[in-house]
Amino acid sequence: MRALLLMLVACSSAPAVEAPVASPIGRPRIVAHRGASEEAPENTLSAFRRAWELGVECVELDVHVTKDGEVVVMHDATTKRIGGRDRKIADQTLAELRELDVGSWKSLAFRGEKIPTLGDVLATIPSGRTLVVEIKSGPETIPAIAKAIRDHDPRPRGGKLALQGFEAKTLVELAAAVPFAPAFWTVAPPVDDSDKEHPVPLPYPRSVVADAKRHGFPGLALFFGSVTDELLADAAAAGLEIDVWTINEPAELARWTTRSGIRWIETDRPDLVPVR
């Protein structure tokens, strides 16, 4: 969904985002989307370590649960795109997944890269930094994900956690199982697809703020091209934090990193934003 929307915004007119919105949040912080995924294979230890080296305050990743109940880091529901095997993660064991090379598709320099477990990545969080765990599987996988977090809790080492997910009910249940991690509800924007070849992302309805409050979420994760000033003002008034995804163009990053009213900015290119 996020990759599709990035393609759509290139052929659409994004809502105006020029005027800053007053907020106590201050300067947005950078989230390395799937790690430093422009430089290294997405959702791998190489991508996460590179992001931490760059000094980002936060790294985002995606999780699924294997046939044998292990929590692994992968965006897609299958391993076709990244690992070359057209099978669902839920139908494979961790041992089977560990057979795959998930680095060569990006570059031969990453040949032999393996799919990490959530525990592997939790162990990398530096003190004071945050890992965002986005659930890509259903509510039946919540016990396994919560257990993996408890077993590798980064808090004693100074690490922090946050949660994300598109399905509100599932995210509510995950947040209840991991009560110390704030949950940002990821919401895809409406799309005008009357022209099937050139669909256009539309502004979010302002009702999304009320929906987030109704579910008890402290924040929203939104597609940047559909975020309006009015929505940011509503979110600030409601006490909601906003994460925007996924901004990779230097000019857009420069513009959004000077805005208030935004808590996090997700990017595949954390190297473009100097740490301050």
**What superfamily does domain 2-14+23-65+116-272 belong to in CATH?**
Phosphatidylinositol (PI) phosphodiesterase (3.20.20.190)
Instruction: Look at residue 7 and tell me whether its pLDDT is greater than 70.
Output: no
DSSP code of 117? B
Residues 6+ apart with CB under 8 A from 67: 90, 91, 92, 93
Largest CA distance in the chain: 52
What's the pTM?
0.89
The more confidently predicted of residues 163 and 276 is: 163
Contact 3, 266 (CB under 8 A): no
Using 50, 70 and 90 to split pLDDT, how confident is the model at 275?
low
Rounded average pLDDT over 187-198 = 93
Kindly report, residue by residue over 33-55, the tens digit of the pLDDT: 999 999 999 999 999 999 999 99
Rounded average pLDDT over 175-196 = 96
Contact 168, 96 (CB under 8 A): no
Kindly report, residue by residue over 109-131, the tens digit of the pLDDT: 999 999 999 999 999 999 999 99
In a 10 Å sphere around its CB, with 0-12 CB exposed, 13-18 middle and 19+ buried, how is residue 188 labelled?
A: middle
pLDDT of residue 258: 85
In the chain, what are the domain boundaries?
2-14+23-65+116-272
pLDDT of residue 13: 37
